[in-house]
Amino acid sequence: MATNPLTEGVDDFVDDLLGGQPDTRPYLLGERNQNLTHGDLREAVGAEVSLFAGAGIGPGSTVALQVPPSYTQIEVLLALWTLGAQVMLIDYRFKSAEVKVLHQLCRPQHAVHTGTAAKSLLAFRSRYELVTQRLAGGLPASTEHRLVQFSSGSTGVPKVIGRTARSLAEEITRFTKVDGMPGAGERVLLLSSTAHSFGLIAGLLHSLAVGAEVVFAPMMTASGIVEAAVNHRVDAIFGVPFHYELLGSITRPPRLPGDRAVSGGELMPPEAADRFAERYGFRVGESYGTTETGVIAMDVSGALRPAVGRAAPGVDVRVRDGELEVRLERTPYLTANGQDGYRDGWFRTRDRTTVDGTGSIRLLGRSDSLVVVGGLKVDLTEVEAVLAAHPLVREAALVHDEVIKAYVSADAEDLTVADLTAWCQDRLADYKLPKLFRIVAALPRTPNGKLVRDPSALRTATLAGAS
């Protein structure tokens, strides 16, 4: 029988993930004995396969999946992959306007979601009721990529990134070779978003492959995280700097059962890392990567800080013009946007970097408009474009000065900060929202007419005539 090039390799990938552990081994752990074993997972995936097949999803189908971190999310993802579908993974925090943009970019045939837009979910839920929709004008997959993700683009338009079954399997294998990664029978408290690469691949998929057990915190609060770590006797914690800042805010915390913690998504502030080590007696490690490449470097021990670690096994890096580049055999982008970031077999991270004689990678900041908030990338030009679309706004300039700040030029008497806040809340995920708005008569410009985005110049413009 001839193979379908659009689904080639996915069967082995899913079979290996689902079939490598005994039925009785725990996989996902929640509160009130809401635990899921590998046998339970296989049964649930089989049931979802039947439901989605009945909805017309099969080899080469394209599906937009937007479900909060949950047992339901991983069951559905594996079921869709089992059917040979190409899955667009959409952050559950995205608003309808953002989702619409992604649908227009990729034109999926189906959408699977929870039916209502999920807000900021502090309390973990293991199960969600789903809605499956057939979308008008959807197109089948034209490539063999199994996972489609999105990253902020320098033009404000999201970059569309594809991962094949092979690339996902290779990344899981890389994680198995990193010293300190949880192994069979060990427990990891997963705080990172499973809609993004670190939480999905290092957290869910690696643990599934090696037999590690994944614990979810009942509440994403300092006490909820500590409670989950202690009650489940976890060996490791995976999170972003925000989570470790929460834990560091507890002045007299209990002793944690494990001695490993890894931060991913954005560089850990030194003061937050030091505070955590002082409170809990061990260092937070780093995992550095991108949506396009997966993991690039990792140091579970945190001993190499302020470096983020050495290149992960199988990852080839170089520094060119002060920026880190990663070797990839082909472009990760599925649309024209972002292609300038891939040249001659190398992906440009646009992270300013040094690599010392031991191979340790140290990050020095970004060279473009991307900033990282709560472990998630935000393109300031995207937020600027949303603000500039307001009928009363003449132009906007965004800066990241500890937090995202927005400066807009408009007639102050006709526009208020409340107006701008509401406008952005309807069109942007909450983590993209500016924390401060300033309305000025005119934004500063360079002698050749370009907008100035220097924080001090913008503050001066505010003092000169802002509302």
This prediction's pTM? 0.82
Nearest to 102 by CA among 153, 39, 61, 68: 153
Q: Helices 241-248 and 222-231, interaxial angle, to 10°? A: 90
pLDDT value, residue 449:
55
Classify the phi-psi angles of 455: left when phi > 0, otherwise alpha if psi is within -120 to 50, otherwise beta: alpha
Q: pLDDT tens digits for the chain (467 residues)?
A: 344 444 445 568 999 999 989 999 999 998 766 899 999 999 999 999 999 999 999 999 999 999 999 999 999 999 999 999 999 999 998 989 999 999 999 999 999 999 765 445 568 899 999 999 999 999 999 999 999 999 875 555 789 999 999 999 999 999 999 999 999 999 999 999 999 999 999 999 999 999 999 999 999 999 999 999 999 999 999 999 889 999 999 999 999 999 999 999 878 888 899 999 999 999 999 999 999 999 999 999 999 999 999 999 999 999 998 899 999 999 999 999 889 899 999 999 988 899 999 999 999 877 777 788 877 888 888 898 899 889 999 888 888 878 899 999 887 677 899 999 999 999 999 999 999 999 988 888 755 555 777 787 788 877 755 44
Instruction: Specify the residue for token string 């973990």.
Output: 124
pLDDT value, residue 456:
79
Q: Which domains does the chain possess?
A: 10-366 (3.40.50.12780), 371-465 (3.30.300.30)
pLDDT value, residue 155:
54
Enumerate residues 6+ apart whose C-beta is below 8 A from 321.
Answer: none
Distance of CA 40 to the CA centre of its chain: 27
Contacts 24+ apart (CB under 8 A), 41-46: 41/74, 41/75, 41/78, 41/208, 42/18, 44/71, 44/75, 45/18, 45/75, 45/78, 45/79, 45/82, 46/79
Q: What distance in Å separates the CA atoms of residue 14 and residue 17, rounded to the nearest whole number?
A: 5
Q: What distance in Å separates the CA atoms of residue 457 and residue 443, rounded to the nearest whole number?
A: 9
Bridge partners, 287 (sequence order): 264, 298
Burial 146-183 (b: 16+ CB within 10 A, else e): bbbbbbbbbebbbbbbbbbbebbbebbebbeebebbbe
pLDDT value, residue 156:
59
Helical segments of 389-452, H only: 417-425
Q: What is the DSSP letter of 374?
A: T
Bridge partners, 398 (sequence order): 406
